[in-house]
Amino acid sequence: MSHHDERTFVMVKPDGVQRGLIGDIVSRFEDRGLKMVGGKFMQIDEKLAHEHYGEHEDKPFFDGLVEFITSGPVFAMVWEGADATRQVRNMMGETDPADSAPGTIRGDFGLDLGHNVIHGSDHEDEGANEREIDLFFDEDELVDYTLDTAAWVYEDEDH
């Protein structure tokens, strides 16, 4: 069942927390059949923000992005499942909520590029999922367990 154990890093951003969207967003991933293996309610400090968004440090929006992501609590998570990184990105929609299809998280909950509710590891950036998981979680904060519904989500999973 190794092809069911891809892990990806996901985070409800400060706007999503303030707007009470943690539950809705968690529900979407649960409903999809993904398995939560880590979750942490926390506030990101300047140093972690710079590490997490390092790829954008030369962009004009970087300072505003750091200010926003450190402005209030976030809910950081690790979700596991088949093709998890790409599937989560598909469920998130486009970077700009204004370009995101209805039915996606950003398309349903956002209108503004600077307040786009959720972060998910980039599936086109090889290894970004593992790097971001390592940045936010210690190994002992991730839980290995069997989700009893997996046999109904995956055809080749044993009952």
Looking at 4, 7, 119, 123, which residue binds ligand DAT (CB under 6 A)? 119
Options 51, 101, 114, 135; binder of ligand DAT; rule CB under 6 A: 114
- Burial (Cβ within 10 Å: 0-12, 13-18, ≥19) of residue 39: middle
Q: Find the part of the chain contacting ligand DAT (CB under 6 A) among 97-105, 110-118, 133-141, 150-158.
A: 110-118
Distance CA 87, CA 109 (A): 18
Considering only 95, 134, 135, 151, the residue that binds ligand DAT (CB under 6 A) is: 95
**How far, in Å, CA of 23 to CA of 158, rounded?**
30
143: its two tokens: 């839980």
Query: Does residue 122 interact with Mg ion by CB under 5 A?
Result: yes
Do the Cβ atoms of 115 and 35 come closer than 8 Å? Answer: no
Determine whether 56 is an active site residue: no
Count other C-beta atoms under 10 Å from residue 8's C-beta: 27
Annotated binding-site residue? 95: yes
Return the residue of 104, 116, 117, 147 that touches ligand DAT, per CB under 6 A.
116
Contacts with ligand DAT by CB under 6 A: the residue count is 9
Choices 31-39, 67-75, 119-127, 139-147; region in contact with Mg ion by CB under 5 A: 119-127
Angle in degrees, CA 29, 30, 35, rounded to 5: 90
Structure token pair of residue 153: 């989500």
Q: Which does 114 bind (CB under 5 to 8 A by kind): ligand DAT, Mg ion, none?
A: ligand DAT
For the annotated binding site for ATP, the residues are 13, 61, 89, 95, 106, 116
**Residues with catalytic annotation?**
119
